[in-house]
Amino acid sequence: MNIHAERPGLASSGMPPPPVHLLPRIGSSGAGTFLEEGRLLKQALAHCLPPGFALERGMRLLDFGCGVGRLEFQLVEESRDVEIWGCDIDEESIAWLAAHFGPGFRFFCNGSRPPLDAPPAHFEVVLALSVLTHIPDGWCAWLEELRRVLKPGGLGLLSFQSVIPFVKTVGPATTLHRAGFVVDGAENDWEACGPQVYQSNDWILENWSSVLPVQAIFAEGLGFQSLAVVRKGPATGKPAVLQPFVHVHPQNGFHGWVDYDPWKPRNWWLESGWCERLEPGPLHGWFVSDCAPLRSVHALGAGGRELPVTHTSRPDVAGAHPEVRWAVDAGFTIPRDALLGLGSGKHVVTITAADWDGRVHWLRVQVTIR
Ligand SMILES: C[S@@+](CC[C@H](N)C(=O)[O-])C[C@H]1O[C@@H](n2cnc3c(N)ncnc32)[C@H](O)[C@@H]1O
């Protein structure tokens, strides 16, 4: 069934939060985090936009599988210039959105198979965020349908689950690399997001590109899920596979992170060396072990060369880990000059921490010096 629901709603400031019983259907952690989840999602998407691309007055954007509007809550400002369309199979979520969002938004229900109730070549941008990740059959028909409604040259931002989600929830990475496409929990309840689909980057490049050429993959670029940037039109050049976040080697009770700001990226394409030189800065991060205070932190650059590490105090980390009383001493910094000393090229820097209990945790980050 396809019901269009268009009606003037309330201003964003007057918008009530969505009903809590709809939140598990989009995998939200709850009412307390719903808005923050949307804000982070929007921020990550902005990082992945191809250089030069911007939403402009008169454009139309479709959020396929919009759920109860986690992203739409963040697009109220944009809806003054850009028509924001959202669709989903969940009638209750669509009815709620239609009743509460303003005139810059349009919402409609779609069936479990194409077509969508939208004209061909209608949208400059199509999003499918955490949607194809729950559709085990018929991915090709849906991709073809998204291509149909995109304008020539239109942009698609489509998320998928690759290695990190697979390893955390299903099995070893080699299984996914070998199979390419894996479905887990085919019988899962839709109240809890339904089946889970996982794809390797290579599978996406080969199969999605046959319908909509993949320009880039941001591996785990949405934090947990990966994002494929596709265009309607002939393929241009070799797709880029970029990994904007550090590789984290998690150990229970021993956390670590690199604040990935050495290039203060406005955009991950740029940060990955695709377009222009950006001025590098120091590399900051932290480690917290809940067993014992940190004993040492070491950083190794190319060829096992040791880089200087300064310890710093991190009240923000202490705030996030109030149960660990030594968390304030978690910070480390690798100075800018030490990074520049690696010389031009791509380098992998490994930062290893040990605690007084003898446990070890490491982070690995790619550093590009031009
Ligand atoms: C995990 S939620 C993501 C919702 C939203 N994109 C977000 O990021 O907040 C998955 C959504 O996909 C919807 N969905 C699943 N299959 C669909 C289909 N064939 N067509 C449209 N929506 C679908 C579900 O109803 C659900 O709202």
Residue nearest to atom 15 of ligand 1 (CA): 131
Average pLDDT, integer, range 225-232: 95
Is the pLDDT higher at 23 or at 274? Answer: 23
pTM of whole model > 0.85? no
Give the pLDDT band (50/70/90) at residue 245.
low
Distance 35 CA to ligand 1 centre (A): 17
Distance 340 CA to ligand 1 centre (A): 44
Residue 90 pLDDT exceeds 80: yes
The 10 Å CB-count burial string (b at 16+, else e) for 75-96 is bbebbeebbbbbbbebeebbeb
- Give 73-89 pLDDT, tens digit per residue: 999 999 999 999 999 99
Q: Which atom of ligand 1 is nearest to the CA of 67?
A: 27
27: Cβ below 6 Å to ligand 1?
yes
Exposure of 220 by Cβ count < 10 A (0-12 exposed, 13-18 middle, 19+ buried)?
buried
Q: Residue ranges per domain, the chain?
A: 4-242, 247-369
Helix (H/G/I), strand (E/B), else coil: 262:
coil
Residue 25 and residue 90 in contact, taking contact as beta carbons nearer than 8 Å: yes
Per-residue pLDDT tens over the stretch 156-173? 999 999 987 887 789 888
- Is 167's C-beta closer than 6 angstroms to any atom of ligand 1? no
Topology given in CATH for the domain delimited by 4-242: Rossmann fold (3.40.50)
Ligand 1 neighbour 72 (Cβ under 6 A): no
pLDDT, mean over the chain = 86
> Is it true that domain 247-369 has CATH number 1.10.287?
no
Q: Please, which pLDDT band fits residue 39 given cuts at 50, 70 and 90?
A: confident
Q: Is 110 in the pocket of ligand 1 (CB under 6 A)?
A: yes
| CB of 70 closer than 6 angstroms to any ligand 1 atom | yes
Q: Is the pLDDT of residue 242 over 70?
A: yes
b/e 124-138 (16+ beta carbons within 10 angstroms → b): bbbbbbbbbbbbbee
